Structure 1
Amino acid sequence: MATTKKTTAKTAPAKTAPVKEEPVKKTVAKAEPAKTVATAAKKAEPAKTENVKVETVKKAEPVKKAPVKKAAPKKVAPKKVAPKKPVPVETKVNFFVEYAGAQVPVEEVIKNVKATYGKDAKEISIYLKPEESKAYFVADGNAEEMDVFFC
């Protein structure tokens, strides 16, 4: 029994024929005053042929710096001022009760009712009967009466 050694042959990459590089034609686009660089580059391109490589050199455009953004000033909301309400004008009222040629101011009757009751009341109702010369009143639920003198 004879043993044979198998050798594995490594496959080498297929050799290809060297590619002949043709010289690269460089064209420089000259900027004309009224024409843009893009228009000049289009004119500089030669007619396309199959085996010719053409490189165009572009002029470096100046780098534009982004404008520095300034922080906008904070907007302060104007303070809301409530419209001024007109001050109500108190009208002074003079109210008199007249009977048999004599008169009594109502403010005097109210002042005498408060004095007769003797303490501050939350609510007072007054009923004036000049023919009897009396004032009947209810102060905080307590009913009382007093004399009224017409002068």
Structure 2
Amino acid sequence: MAQVKKAAEKPAAKKTVTKKATASVKTKIELQYAEKNISYDDIVKNAKEFWTLELGNKAEDLKSLDLYVKPEENRVYYVANGKETGSFEL
């Protein structure tokens, strides 16, 4: 039997994946109703203040915050950290 020499196997070349930088778009959201103008930033700020000051929580304990704005009820409902729920006046 003749021995067949195998060509030296080269390791597979590593593929480099380049992520495209996504352009940052500055946005502004403002809720307008009943002759009131409330910005998104104000709603978030008020929610964080309510959660810390009114409820006595620590700001660093807030990991996530889902907000549901209901202008017809003049309320903002929230879910903090995926489990704590409540509401405050808009």
One-letter amino acid matched to 2:33: Y
Counterparts of 1:97 and 1:123 in 2: how far apart (Å)? Answer: 22
Higher strand share: 2
Runs of 4+ in 1 over 2 A off after TM superposition: 82-87
Counterparts of 1:146 and 1:115 in 2: how far apart (Å)? Answer: 11
Of 36, 40, 48, the residue aligned with 1:106 is 40
Partner residue of 1:116?
A: 50
When the two chains are superposed, the root-mean-square deviation of aligned CA atoms in Å is 2.1
Counterparts of 2:30 and 2:74 in 1: how far apart (Å)? Answer: 14
CA offsets 1:79-137 (integer angstroms, 9 cap, x no match): x9x57643222111111111122221112101111111112422211111112221111
Give TM-score, length-normalised by structure 2: 0.63
Higher relative contact order at CA 8 Å, sep ≥6: structure 1 or structure 2?
2
Mind listing any 5+ residue stretches in structure 2 that lack a counterpart?
Answer: 1-13, 53-58
Mind listing any 5+ residue stretches in structure 1 that lack a counterpart?
Answer: 1-79
Counterparts of 1:147 and 1:112 in 2: how far apart (Å)? Answer: 9
Counting aligned pairs with the same residue, the percent is 26
One-letter amino acid matched to 1:111: K
One-letter amino acid matched to 2:84: N
Higher helix share: 2
Find out whether 1:127 has 2:61 as its counterpart: no
Alignment of 1:58-77 (within 5 A): none
CA offsets 1:21-74 (integer angstroms, 9 cap, x no match): xxxxxxxxxxxxxxxxxxxxxxxxxxxxxxxxxxxxxxxxxxxxxxxxxxxxxx
Q: 1:87 to 1:134 in 2, by over 3 A?
A: same
